[in-house]
Structures are given as structure tokens and as C-alpha cells.
Amino acid sequence: MENKIKKVAILTNGGDAPGLNAVIRAIVKTARTNGVECYGFIEGYKGLLNNNYVKLDLQTNASGLLIKGGTIIGTSNNTNVFNYKVVNEDGTVEYKDLSDVCVQNIKDDGFDCLFTLGGDGTQKSSRDFSLKGVKCIGVPKTIDNDVAHTDQTFGFDTAVSVAAEALDRIHTTAESHHRVMVVEVMGRYAGWLALESAIAGGADVALIPEIPYDINSVINKINERRSRGKEFSIIVVSEGAKPKDGDITIKATLDQGAGLDNIRLGGIGDKLSNDIERLTGYTSRNTTLGYVQRGGTPSAYDRILSTKYGCKAMELALEGIFNVLVTYKDGKMSYVSLEDVVGANKVVGAASGNTKESNIRKVPMDCDLIKIARDLGMSLGD
């Protein structure tokens, strides 16, 4: 049977994650096997708006991608073309819906399908474009592991490994100095990265957004260890964690909240470390891991997962299944509708993020990770 699909485009949007290039490679290779031409929009939705794209060619630009960090076609972080910041000549700022320009670009260029590689914000726009008639297939990327309906996003495994290695190093210096060492990890409003890093790195305390913490409970854990002769403690704190009587720590709000990913978290590690010093008199230091968690080469696991995601995405396009997110569920590749992915966040152009409508996957209290953390005697701050 002849393919209905002839020409497809990929975009990578939001914060980068290890495995993006491996997904691109898998899509391009599966496309070649099936006689489909592949293109990449430059810098995510921004490239779609500016109609800026390149042909992805396995002989030249799309070669050697399996192990390469970042994304060869670039990404943009808080571009919301449905509510796009335009600075007029007189310096005034307006927010405009420019999505029709993008839709026209796709029509004019003759793309039969758009692959959107990104997290919840990217998939929200993907669903919004699907309502405008664009044939979209999403692929769930993020080190935060918080995309709804999939058990694991690509990039997460690498980020956990990086954090675990950092924790190994923090361990020896903590022990030598008898310090309370805090390590702040990313993860936005979900605690997957903090919890898995803490378990992999043998931390004593893990603080995650899903469980607002009581500082006294953290201090009790430190003291309990000291009473057993352990004069150091390791605390992993998620950037989105907050105390019971306080709020999340925000570094910056971008574009007056109009972007897709407009709130930059960060600073809870320093706050926690200062609070511990003030309340106990013990020496405490914070290390914020930051962008090392999402840079560099993907782990072997992420290379395989990314390849599965990329091949499956192109297979779905060949089967004529659109407006879906590729998922990895119960050990199998599958898909769900983009409508299900956005959940209650129905308004076209609305931002994703920490609103009651946003549909991200948080750590459920009955999951194995929570149980084993407690089995190990790890404090979760409650």
C-alpha cells in the first residue's frame, strides 16, 4: 500500500533533555525506511511561527545523534504562539494569537504531520494546533517525568543518574565535615526526580512538592542520626518543594505569566540550608545541581527509550493515527489522545504550569517509591 504520508516535520520545544536527538534520529530513520521526507523546525514553536526549518538528512546534519545531548534543531522555552509577546515600535507590548500564521506555514510547506517533542506545555500547544486541523503527534520529553498518561518520559533516567553521582560526591564531603548537606534538584511541581535521586544516592531526607514539609520533622531526622553517631546528613529537595506553612520559592516570573512555562523555580535549597543552620547551630551547605541534570549524553536506558518513542511516533503517522501523544505504559509503547493529555486545561492558548487546570503527573502517595523511602527510614518531611 502506498504511504499517505510523504513529508513530516519535527520540533523540539521547552527545556532540553537528554534523548531529544535520539528521538529525532529514530523518526528520521523510520521515515527513510518508509520513503518519507523529514524536516526540523528551528527553535521549537518559534521556528514554526517564522517558517524556519531545515531538511534532516542522515548523511549530514542528522548523523551521529544517538549519543548527542541537547537538540540539533534548537528549542525555545516559553514560546506560546497562541498568546505571543509582540513588542511594537513604540516599545509597547501586546500579546497576540499568531497560531494561524503557523497553521498556514504548515499548509504552504505541505507537511503531512508535525511531531512535537516536549513536556506538558509543548503538548498543550500541540493539542491546540490539532483543534485547528494540524495533524500532530506528541512525544513526551522532560527530566521532570511529569507528563500525564506515560510512565516515563525520556531524559528522566539520565537526570536521575547525574543527580545520584552528585550525591555520591556530596556524601564524602558531608561525612568529612560533619555537615548537613542539602542538594536542590529540578523537577518543577513533581517530585519524581528528587525521590528517585534520593533513593539512588542514599539520602536521609527527600522533600518533594507533593508533601509540604515540616522543618521540625527534618531536624528530628538529623538529630536521630546524630544520636546514632552519624554526624552528617544528606537532604534532597525538589525545586518545587514548600514548607507546610509557606509557599514555593520562585526565582522569576517571565512575560507576566503569558508564556507556556513562565515561572522559574529555585532557591528552596538555600532557604532550607539557612533554616537548618539557624534552628540547630549545625553547619549546613546547599548545592543546587541546576542544568547539569539535563545536559550531556543520554544514558543507555534513555537512548533505548528515546528510540522506542521516535520509531513509534513515525509508525503512528504511517498508520494515520494523529492528535495523540506516544506513551510508554506498563512496559509497552502506546498512545493517548492529546485531549486526554491536557485534561481539564481546555482553554486554547492557556498556559500550562502550576494551575489547578494543569494536568501533570505527580507522585501518588501510594506509589512504590514513597513506600520504599519510608521502609528505608528516609524522612519525607511529614
Residues that bind ligand F6P (CB under 6 A): 15, 77, 119, 142-144, 186-188, 239, 264-265, 294
Q: Provide the CA 3 distance to its chain's centre, in angstroms.
A: 33
- Residue 229's CB is within 10 A of a number of other CB atoms, namely 6
Residue 255 CA to residue 239 CA, distance in Å, equals 21
HSE value, Cβ hemisphere, 13 Å, CA-based, for 366: 0
Is 119 or 174 the residue whose CB approaches ligand F6P more closely? 119
Question: Does residue 378 sit in helix, strand or coil?
Answer: coil
Which neighbouring-strand residues pair with 325? 138, 336
Please identify, using beta-carbon distances, which residue of 137 and 143 lies nearer to ligand F6P: 143
CB of 31 to ligand F6P, least distance (A): 27
Contact 186/144 with Cβ under 8 angstroms?
Answer: yes
Quote the CA–CA distance of 35 and 137 in Å, as a whole number: 19
Q: How far is the CB of 154 from ligand F6P (least distance, A)?
A: 12
Q: How far apart are CA 186 and CA 5, in angstroms?
A: 38
63-102 b/e (C-beta count within 10 Å ≥ 16 → b): eebeebbbbbbbbbbbbbbbbbbeeeeeeeeeeeebbeeb
Among candidates 92, 98, 66, 93, which has minimal Cα distance to 79? 98
User: Rg of the chain's alpha carbons, rounded to an integer?
Assistant: 22
Question: Is 168 marked active-site?
Answer: no
Minimum separation from the CB atom of position 146 to ligand F6P (A): 8
CB of 253 to ligand F6P, least distance (A): 12
Contact 342, 124 (CB under 8 A): yes
- 120, 144, 146, 261: the catalytic one is 144
Q: Name the residue nearer to ligand F6P (CB basis): 18 or 28.
A: 18
Nearest-10 crossing angle of helices 20-33, 300-319: 40
3-state secondary structure of 97: coil
* CB of residue 32 to ligand F6P, shortest distance in Å: 30
DSSP state of 34: T
Nearer to ligand F6P, 62 or 163 (CB): 163
Query: Which CB, 79 or 323, lies closer to ligand F6P?
Result: 79
Least distance from ligand F6P to the Cβ atom of residue 186, Å: 3
In the complex with ligand F6P, the residue whose CB is nearer, 76 or 323, is 76
Positions marked catalytic: 144
